Structure 1
Amino acid sequence: MRTGGIDGSQIQAMIAQLKAHATRPGLTPPVIQTEAPAAPKAEFADALKKSLDAVNASQVESGELSKKFAMGDDSVSLSDVMISMQKSSINFQASIQVRNKLVSAYHDIMNMQV
């Protein structure tokens, strides 16, 4: 039987090949995702703790460098100490600004009419 130029036996042979290919061992059918994979949730408390730990680490590093410089360690230059102190100061000021914004937002929320 011929339908539109394609022999029915060719169609049956192709269907048989597709079925044989789909049932071969070791092959799994493709999985089609309909939803995007869930992104890991970042907790605010974890992010805040991580940033505060980074500020603390920069201040500790700054203190250690200044202590080494004061003791006469030749591997530490004055410019390294000053740069480290400025970085830790900027980090600390930024964390203070974040704290101020959080306190301000808390007050705004507490003063809202329900």
Structure 2
Amino acid sequence: MTSTLGVALVALLGLGSVFFTLVAAVGVVRLPDVYARAHATSKSDTLGTGLGLAAGALALGFTLDSGVALFKVVLLTAFVLVANPVAAHAIVRAAHLDDVPTAGEADETEGDAT
């Protein structure tokens, strides 16, 4: 039982997923240091993945009568919403403990010839 509104909602969630995942990819390429890159990926990629999984869950809800697959997608979404920010925090903490400079600090020390 698929309705036009349901298909439009799945398509809208899918497009939102593609947009936010693309923003995360551009952030990784364009941002200057590990701290800014981790911020871009933890926020945008988590939202893009969440929207994509929501589109998948909605599409599964339309096509399957069983709620088991839908339940698995909901569990996967919850895991991603917890794991992505925790992983980004771990990466940034490791960079901070290794004294990785920010982009501004690296620019300031570049001109020192001591």
Over alpha carbons, which structure has the higher Rg?
1
Same fold (TM over 0.5): no
TM tier relative to shorter chain: 0.3 to 0.5
What TM-score comes out, normalization by structure 1 length?
Answer: 0.40
What TM-score comes out, normalization by structure 2 length?
Answer: 0.40
Higher relative contact order (CA 8 A, sep 6+): 2
More helix by share: 2
